[in-house]
Amino acid sequence: MAFDDLQFPMPVPDPNRPGETKDTFENVVGGSATYASFAAACYAPVRIVAVVGDDFPKATLEQLAKRQIDTTGIEQATGLTFRWKGRYRPDMVGRDTLDTQLNVFADFRPKLPDSYRDTEVVLLGNIHPALQLEVLDQVSSPQLVIADTMNFWISGEAETLAALLKRIDVLVINDEEARLLSGIHNIPHAAKDILARGPKKLIIKRGEYGSLYFDDDGVFAAPALPLETVADPTGAGDSFAGGLVGYLARQGNARHQTMRHAIVHGTATASYCVQAVGTGGLANLELSAIEQRVSDVRKLYYLGESP
């Protein structure tokens, strides 16, 4: 879990002061696990594994617990919580990191409580692949494993990442990461290459353009909703993954067709995330609202019979 200090190119609504806007936000509670847990909890019970420092607000932990999220796996370490400071560019997509403080995250070794070991659906957030493997080793009999990773590990920890890829069902990365991982620019060829490395299914995120999904049944393209308001893109990918994994856990299978629907649910969930600063769009989100937006996404590419 994390604190984010965010700078935007224009004022955006302040979730703590309805009706007011500002362009700089400090101490925003974030982190992959936070976003993904809030998102997944709209669908199914969640067990979170993360580390926070002694500066982390009790109120947020209580907020998580209220949303069917088991917080037993949140380690309370001595020191400060991970902190990221970034500035978004005028396009609200590109961003520059101004500062990263690992703090208690530097020595984090995720340890699953005994009560978590029977978890069937596992989402491995973007951390060192060696730690992702350690988490997986602590789950007794995982039925579905979904993993995220990033450029930093693809370039610097290729061997460990290769070992991880052999043990996961679904890899969720963006197009640049897919190109870096495969060494292939063409996306369909890159996807084939990556699927040959272990994962049975591959989701390639393309930001505002949506995502592509590859499995042995073919390709699925899910456009993103063109949104009139984007307040804070932080957490979009994590809430996409959270919505996806939550939907799959709720359905109890990851068949071709279920995966396609899960991706649309992830898309809808992420659209709520980016419309508010921090986890403001997710923390009180209801499944009925997501389903409304799933219906909007479906309308977006409704074609019907040939006229």
CA-CA distance, 185 to 217, in Å (whole number)? 22
Please say which residue, 92 or 136, places its beta carbon nearer to a copy of itself: 92
196 binds a copy of itself (CB under 8 A): no
Q: How far is the CB of 146 from a copy of itself (least distance, A)?
A: 18
Sheet with 211-215, strands from edge to edge, namely 121-124, 144-148, 170-174, 201-205, 211-215, 218-222
The one segment of 51-59, 132-140, 219-227, 277-285 that binds a copy of itself by CB under 8 A:
219-227
Which of 83, 201, 261, 293 binds a copy of itself (CB under 8 A)? It is 261
162 binds a copy of itself (CB under 8 A): no
68 binds a copy of itself (CB under 8 A): no
The β-bridge partners of 231 are: none
Please say which residue, 141 or 288, places its beta carbon nearer to a copy of itself: 288
Please say which residue, 18 or 302, places its beta carbon nearer to a copy of itself: 302
Binding mask 69-98 for a copy of itself (x = CB under 8 A): ---------------------xxx------
Which of 27, 76, 151, 257 binds a copy of itself (CB under 8 A)? It is 257
Element (H, E) at 184: none
| 3-class DSSP assignment, residue 53 | coil
CA-CA distance, 60 to 79, in Å (whole number)? 18
Look at the block and give the residue holding tokens 């069917």.
Answer: 68
Backbone angles phi, psi at 52, to 5 degrees: -130, 160
65 binds a copy of itself (CB under 8 A): no
183 binds a copy of itself (CB under 8 A): no
The one segment of 71-79, 115-123, 160-168, 248-256 that binds a copy of itself by CB under 8 A:
248-256
| 3-class DSSP assignment, residue 112 | coil
295 binds a copy of itself (CB under 8 A): no
131 binds a copy of itself (CB under 8 A): no
300 binds a copy of itself (CB under 8 A): yes
Which of 222, 244, 277, 290 binds a copy of itself (CB under 8 A)? It is 222
Residue 100 contacts residue 85 (beta carbons within 8 Å): yes
Nearest Cα residue to 163 out of 138, 130, 196: 130
Total residues at interface with a copy of itself (CB under 8 A): 41
What's the Cα-to-Cα distance from 169 to each of 19, 23, 143, 147, 291, rounded to whole Å?
44, 40, 9, 8, 26
Residue 197 contacts residue 161 (beta carbons within 8 Å): no
In one-letter notation, the amino acid at residue 152 is: F
Residue 88 contacts residue 210 (beta carbons within 8 Å): no
Which of 264, 270, 273, 285 binds a copy of itself (CB under 8 A)? It is 264
Six token digits for residue 227: 């949104």
The one segment of 41-49, 63-71, 221-229, 268-276 that binds a copy of itself by CB under 8 A:
221-229
What's the Cα-to-Cα distance from 80 to each of 54, 184, 277, rounded to whole Å?
6, 40, 22
Q: Which residues bind a copy of itself (CB under 8 A)?
A: 90-92, 185-189, 191, 206, 208-210, 212, 218-223, 226-228, 230, 251, 253, 255, 257-258, 260-261, 264, 298-304, 306-307
